[in-house]
Every structure is written in C-alpha cells, then in structure tokens.
C-alpha cells in the first residue's frame, strides 16, 4: 500500500496516489513544487512559444469540458478556461502548493468555471467520458505506469474526444539543459535523470514509445509534431543563473561541493549563458513533442 505523500497540510490519502507515484507526489509537494510556485511567471515565460501551439492543437470550443493533467500552477488551465467560456475546466495535480497557486490565479482572473482537484491523474476517479478535451503541458511524463495512466485518461474522454500534450524530446536536443550541464560538469556531479523510460522529464522522449502507449490505450489518429523553439531563460546572464541555480536539481548538485567550487561553477554557468544573450534576454533552444490523438 502507498504511504501517501507529505503535502503542506499532511499526507495525501493513500488511495489518492498510486503506490508507484508516491515519490513524485513527495517531490512535487516539496522542493519542486515550491520552485514551480516561486518561479511561476518565469516558467510561463519559458513556455511562451510552446503554450499557444498546445492550445491550438487542443481544439477547445466555447462549450468544451477540458481536463488539464498535471496542471501545476494552472497556466494552461486558465488558458483553457478563456477558450471555453461556456464550458468547464478541471485541473488535476499531485501538488498542493501548486494547486493553491492555481486556485488563486483562477479566482484573480474571475474564471469560476476553472476548478482544481488534488490527486493522481493515473487513478483519479473521473467519470467515464466526462471530458471533450484532455490536455497537458509537460505533466504526463511522471507516471509510474504510463500504460494504466493513458488508458485511464482515454476512458475519461468521450468517444472522439481529443488528447493534446507536450513532452520533452531527448535531453541532447534540449540546449536549455545541455548548455548549463556542460558548463557545470567540470565542477559538480550532474544529476542522474533515470533509466530510459523511467518517470521523469524525458520518459516520453521516444516517438515510437508514445505511439505504442497511446495506441495501446485506445487512442486513434496519433500524431507527433517536433517543436524546436528558443526558450527564454532570463533577462540577462545573472537573472538566468539565479533562476536555473534555484532549481532543486541544481541546488542539490551545488550543495555537494564546497563554496569555492560552487562559486566557480556559477561563474562558468554565467559565462556560458552570457554567450546566449540577445536583445530580449538569454535564450536557449528547446525540443518538444506536440502530441495529439483522439479517443477511438
């Protein structure tokens, strides 16, 4: 049985989180969630070029019923709410701090038809066929059992309903990480991003895996589009260093080395990022899959 996950107000009920997703729930209720809340605006800016592509692909109508999977602080839930003024949006996420932020954002925007639920999208009790659209911006790569999760999400869609999500392509194609990693590598131990396919940001980097998972889950007309976009990471090199080194992953790397080595690592990172400074700030390339499908 799952031990649940420790949230800001105590552990999530064990039946709300699949046993295999407990570690993710802990991370997103801990340092990762706090980072994503604190840097919400910064992260929205990072995704500024990708988000409109996702929203366009989702095909939301004025009266659509939309599910936002791993909605986090609600950026795409609010966008969906604006696209479906006569419909409804449910954002589901494991992270209490991020959901609290999402609720605050929806209230401030006056979007009362955008609501949020705390839970594990892999097992959350959605009514069958309750949604016309299921979307996700980088929230579907963390499932311990993606087969079960996508099957579960297919059932939540009405027949013919649309799935649209973004996930990262291979790490080596994503300069927004390889550039910082290359700069830091001489000074710190780079993180282990897990075995191929293991839950994490790159679990769905392989096109054939996505196609097989979705086909097996009952989706049809699966389509993958490679998006290659510049990603803004800061107004200048110092701003970008501050945002990137505040990431829990970077904090962990830097905490394992002494002060002097840490300072040299930060300086190397700053130099590497300064080389990517343009008129609008520091930008690095990113590579994502835009995936669409419909429930058969």
Ligand X SMILES: C[S@@+](CC[C@H](N)C(=O)[O-])C[C@H]1O[C@@H](n2cnc3c(N)ncnc32)[C@H](O)[C@@H]1O
Which lies closer to ligand X via its Cβ, residue 21 or residue 42? Answer: 21
Name, in order, each residue with C-beta under 8 angstroms of 102's C-beta and a sequence gap of 6 or more. Answer: 71, 72, 73, 74, 77, 91, 93, 116
Q: How far is the CB of 81 from ligand X (least distance, A)?
A: 14
Six-digit token string for 69? 């999977």
Q: How far is the CB of 68 from ligand X (least distance, A)?
A: 7
Which lies closer to ligand X via its Cβ, residue 64 or residue 122? Answer: 122
Dist CA 104 CA 99 (whole Å): 8
Q: How far is the CB of 263 from ligand X (least distance, A)?
A: 29
Which lies closer to ligand X via its Cβ, residue 78 or residue 254? Answer: 78
Q: How far is the CB of 107 from ligand X (least distance, A)?
A: 18
Give the interface with ligand X as residue ranges (CB under 6 A).
21, 24, 28, 43, 70-73, 75-76, 92-95, 98, 120-122, 137-139, 142-143
Task: Decide: helix, strand or coil at residue 205.
Answer: coil
Q: How far is the CB of 268 from ligand X (least distance, A)?
A: 26
Which lies closer to ligand X via its Cβ, residue 13 or residue 186? Answer: 13
Q: Where are the alpha helices (DSSP H) in the chain?
A: 22-29, 31-38, 40-46, 51-58, 75-83, 96-108, 146-156, 175-184, 207-216, 237-245, 248-255, 259-274
Task: Decide: helix, strand or coil at residue 160.
Answer: strand
> How many other C-beta atoms lie within 10 A of the C-beta of residue 195?
8
Dist CA 124 CA 188 (whole Å): 39
Q: How far is the CB of 257 from ligand X (least distance, A)?
A: 26
Q: How far is the CB of 269 from ligand X (least distance, A)?
A: 22
Which lies closer to ligand X via its Cβ, residue 76 or residue 283? Answer: 76
Residue 45, class by beta-carbon neighbours within 10 Å (0-12 exposed, 13-18 middle, 19+ buried)? Answer: middle
Report the candidate in 39, 27, 279, 286 with the shortest Cα–Cα distance to residue 177.
Answer: 286
Report the candidate in 115, 123, 71, 122 with the shortest Cα–Cα distance to residue 90.
Answer: 115
Which lies closer to ligand X via its Cβ, residue 98 or residue 184? Answer: 98
Which lies closer to ligand X via its Cβ, residue 29 or residue 187? Answer: 29
């Amino acid at each position: 049985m799952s031990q649940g996950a420790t949230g800001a107000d105590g552990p999530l009920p064990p039946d709300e989180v699949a046993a295999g997703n407990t570690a993710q729930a802990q991370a997103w209720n801990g340092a990762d969630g706090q980072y994503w809340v604190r840097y919400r605006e910064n992260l929205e800016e990072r995704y500024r070029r990708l988000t409109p592509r996702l929203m366009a692909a989702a095909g939301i109508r004025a009266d659509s019923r939309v599910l936002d999977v791993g909605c986090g602080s609600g950026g795409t839930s609010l966008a969906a709410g604006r696209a479906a003024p006569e419909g409804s949006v449910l954002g589901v996420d494991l992270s209490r701090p991020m959901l609290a932020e999402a609720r605050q954002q929806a209230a401030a925007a006056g979007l009362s038809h955008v609501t949020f639920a705390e839970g594990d999208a892999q097992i959350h009790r959605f009514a069958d066929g309750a949604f016309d659209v299921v979307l996700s911006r980088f929230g579907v790569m963390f499932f311990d059992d993606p087969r079960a999760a996508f099957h579960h999400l297919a059932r939540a869609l009405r027949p013919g309903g649309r799935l649209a999500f973004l996930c990262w392509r291979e790490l080596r194609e994503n300069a927004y990480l390889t550039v910082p990693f290359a700069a830091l590598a001489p000074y710190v131990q780079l993180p282990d991003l897990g075995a191929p396919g293991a839950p994490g940001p790159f679990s769905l980097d392989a096109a054939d895996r996505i196609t097989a998972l979705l086909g097996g889950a009952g989706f049809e007309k699966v389509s993958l589009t490679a998006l290659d976009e510049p990603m803004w990471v800061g107004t200048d090199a110092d701003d970008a260093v501050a945002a990137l080194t505040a990431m829990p992953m970077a904090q962990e790397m830097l905490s394992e080395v002494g002060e002097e080595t840490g300072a040299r690592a930060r300086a190397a990172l700053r130099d590497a990022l300064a080389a990517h400074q343009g008129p609008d700030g520091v930008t690095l390339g990113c590579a994502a899959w835009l995936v669409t499908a419909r429930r058969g």
